[in-house]
Amino acid sequence: MPELPEVEIVKQSLVKNVKSQKILKVIVRNRNLRFKLPINFKNIIKKQTIVNVRRFSKYIIIELSNKLYCILHLGMSGTLHILNKNKKNLITNSSFYHSPFLPNKHNHVELVFKNLRLIYNDPRRFGYFKIISGIRKLEDFISNYGIEPFNKKFNYYYVKSKLHDKKKNIKNYLLDQKFVSGIGNIYASEILYESKINPKKKSCDLSDYELSDLVKYTKRVLNNSIKKGGSSIRDFVNTSGNSGTFQKYFKVYNREGKKCPKINCKGKISRIVISNRSTFYCNICQK
């Protein structure tokens, strides 16, 4: 499943390509996504201009000129492909996973613009589109989740107030979207490694120093990944044909048995399973 950095890259690609563009036609080939598309989906968004595209957590939010918001979650296998009729763009994937080229199957939704086509492909159909009317309902939707890591309110005091009495391990809390939005399994391992925190440690047992580091390295790790174009665990590429490179800089994720990257550390990367998810950490740095 995509995490915050990968979704941010998709958002940036959409801003570059379709912001201020008018949707001339909507083609729905399959309504049966994770949540069935509304019957009137085509009529709702057709002939609307895309005013803005933003991201919240792992969601892409498309603001339309009729004051509606189209929220897109890419699920496990969803990709957005951008085709420009004026270019022979062999690389169409603005997203992650699967082929960088537009597949022949599972192209469920297509938005047609003057010179572009935006196609949603999703073999597993765990992604979905949700239409929300008005800013207040959008704010209500967002309020169901925890604050974002880049929000100024995600600071030592926020983390301290949320975790001081919680016995659940810190790895699970980083994945809890009610606590902080957008972090998934890959980045949770990387953040905890940089913070020198054992993933099995109870959240209430974190020291003030560890809480401060958790905030600092959450922001730093995610920012670094965005700058490097996202992670190419399954061939993430954008429409420029550039693949994400952050996976080349993983310190612990998927590095079981390898030496800890820290020069003065003699530890090795261990793998354990927490809540059915692989978790990687240094057996020395993160005691």
Per residue in 17-56, pLDDT (tens digit) is: 999 999 999 999 999 999 999 999 999 999 999 999 999 9
CA distance 78 to 264: 42
- The tokens for 263 are 């020069």
The pLDDT tens digits for 157-175 are 999 999 999 999 999 999 9
Instruction: Report the pLDDT value the prediction gives residue 224, as an integer from 0 to 100.
Output: 87
Taking the C-alpha atoms of residue 169 and residue 186, their distance in angstroms, rounded to an integer, is 16
Q: Is 76 domain-assigned? A: yes
What mean pLDDT do residues 250-265 have? 92
Domain assignment present for residue 52? The answer is: yes
φ and ψ of 183, to 5 deg: -85, 135
Examine residue 150 and state whether it is found in any structural domain, yes or no.
Answer: no
What residues are paired with 259 via a beta bridge? 268
pLDDT band at 89 (very low <50, low <70, confident <90, very high): low
Enter the pTM of the model: 0.87
In this predicted structure, what is the pLDDT of residue 118? 95
Residue 105: how many other CB atoms lie within 10 Å? 7
Q: Which residues of 149-188 are buried (b: 16+ CB within 10 A; e: fewer)?
A: beeeebeeebbeebbeebeebbbbbbbeeebbbbbbbbbb
Q: Helices 208-227 and 156-163 sit at what angle, rounded to 10 degrees?
A: 120
The residues assigned a catalytic role are 2-3, 58, 277
pLDDT band at residue 151, thresholds of 50, 70 and 90? very high
Q: Among 142, 166, 197, give the residue marking a domain's end.
A: 142
- Which strands sit side by side in the sheet containing 68-73, from one edge to the other? 50-56, 59-64, 68-73, 128-133
Domain with 249, as residue range(s), is: 156-282
243: amino acid identity, one letter: S
Q: Establish if 50 belongs to a structural domain.
A: yes
- What per-residue confidence (pLDDT) applies to 246? 45
Quote the number of domains for the chain. Answer: 2
Q: 162 and 112, same structural domain?
A: no
Tell whether the model's pLDDT for residue 84 goes beyond 90.
no
What average pLDDT score do residues 211-238 get? 75
Within this chain, do residues 17 and 123 fall inside the same structural domain, yes or no? yes
Residue 148 in any domain: the answer is no
Smallest CA-to-CA distance from 175 within 165, 156, 188 is with 188
Query: 25 - beta bridge partners?
Result: 112
For residue 99, the domain's CATH number is 3.20.190.10
Whether residues 213 and 114 share a domain: the answer is no
Residue with tokens 């010179």: 115
Residue 16 domain flag: yes
Report if residue 147 sits inside a domain.
Answer: no
Q: How far apart are CA 287 and CA 283, in angstroms?
A: 6
Q: Looking at residue 216, which CATH number applies to its domain?
A: 1.10.8.50
The last residue of one of the domains, among 115, 142, 169, is 142
Residue 109 resides in a domain: yes
Q: Based on the domain organization, do 96 and 203 belong to the same domain?
A: no
Cross-strand partners of 147? 180
Residue 39 CB-half CA count within 13 A: 0
Residue 122, token pair as written in the block:
């999703």
Q: Which residue in this structure is represented by tokens 């083609």?
A: 27
How many alpha carbons fall within 13 Å on the CB side of residue 108?
A: 25
Distance CA 187, CA 1 (A): 12
Backbone angles phi, psi at 50, to 5 degrees: -80, 105
Rounded Cα distance between 140 and 153, Å, is 18
